[in-house]
Structures are given as C-alpha cells and as structure tokens.
A = this chain, B = another copy of it.
C-alpha cells in the first residue's frame, strides 16, 4: 500500500471520478465526503489534501460529469460517420440513457438543483448548455436565428423528456415519452432545416 508522490494525482482522479458518477446518481447534495473517499479506497481525513473543500470538489465534479456525458453521447453518435440531429436525438432519448444516469447527461438529473445553486455552479452548467446548443446547430448544418431556435427547442425537449421519462414508473409509458419526443425533435428539424 504505497503512497508515493506520483500516486497522489491518481488518488485525486479516483475521488473526482467517483464524485462525477455519484452526483449523477444521487444529486450534488446526496454525496458525502466520507462516501467518496471510501469508494476511492481512502479515509475521509485525506480529502483536504486533494480539495480545498467539499464545494470546490463539487464544481470540479460537475465539470467532469458534464464532459463525461457529452463524450458518452458523442461516442455513440460519432462512430462511423458524422454527427447528425438524428444520431444525437436517437442516442440521447434512448431507454439505455434513461436507465443509466450515472454515465449520461447531467443536465436532466442536476438541472433543477443547479437552477437554485451558487452562481459559480450555475456558470459551469450554463457554459455546457452553450456548447450543446452550438453542437446542435452544427448538426443541423445551418446557422442563423432558425438554427438557434431549433437548438434551444431541441435541447429543451430532450432534457425535459428525459426528466419526465425518469419520473414515470410504468415502463411502456416512459418509453413512449421518449419515442414521442424523439419524433417531435425530428419534425422540428424538418421545419427549421
């Protein structure tokens, strides 16, 4: 059980990875320092050697969760061929994404909580939203006000439908919400594209 200096960065990474995953499962408020340290095979006291405070970790963890979620999405959509509206929507509004929040997009999971958080935390997610809008405009293959409107509408619908689908207990009802939202985003893409 060594703890060389080179391994410190590795420990930090394990804490941050656990945090980025856990906050998507249980929310920012649902994670304790002790729990994260244990899942990184460390004891709670060492935490402050890696992060200034719990809230500093949360900022970093949210950044990573949002980046992870985007990468996971891009990995699905991007393999062989370019990103299209259809590939984004099919990947995003899939039952697999709904059933695996820990590796998915943090926006439907944490958005409500973050809407009432510190400006610093909100800024992290706001920045991701701007990037997401831009990606959607590029996927539409257009620029201008209509493309912007589509990007905002599509993302609003996707995060809303994902949140709603996760609330629904009945599986077929939850699946139907995803399917109908998917169709509607594509209908909108035709209208604006």
- By a beta-carbon cutoff of 8 Å, the part of chain A in contact with chain B is 25-27, 29-30, 101, 107-116, 119, 122-123, 125-126, 129, 148-150, 152-153, 155-161, 163-164, 166-170, 173, 176-177, 180-181, 183-184, 187-188, 191
Return chain B residues, CB-CB under 8 Å to A180.
148-149, 152-153
Of B119, B155, B169, B188, which contacts A123 at CB under 8 A? B169
Chain A interface SS verdict (over half)? helix
In the assembled complex, the CB of A38 is this many whole angstroms from the nearest CB of chain B, namely 21
Q: Which residue of B lies closest to A114 (CB)?
A: B167
Of B122, B150, B166, B169, which contacts A116 at CB under 8 A? B166
The answer to whether A167 touches B111, judged by C-beta atoms less than 8 angstroms apart, is: yes
Q: How far is the CA of A32 from the CA of B27 in the complex (A)?
A: 18
Return chain B residues, CB-CB under 8 Å to A112.
27, 108-113, 163, 166
Of B29, B119, B125, B158, which contacts A160 at CB under 8 A? B158
Return chain B residues, CB-CB under 8 Å to A129.
164, 167-168
5 A-B pairs within 8 Å (CB atoms) are namely A26-B116, A111-B163, A111-B164, A112-B113, A152-B176
The answer to whether A184 touches B122, judged by C-beta atoms less than 8 angstroms apart, is: no
Given contacts A29-B30, A112-B110, A113-B113, A157 and B153 within 8 Å (CB-CB):
yes
The answer to whether B164 touches A155, judged by C-beta atoms less than 8 angstroms apart, is: yes
The answer to whether B155 touches A156, judged by C-beta atoms less than 8 angstroms apart, is: no
The answer to whether A169 touches B111, judged by C-beta atoms less than 8 angstroms apart, is: no
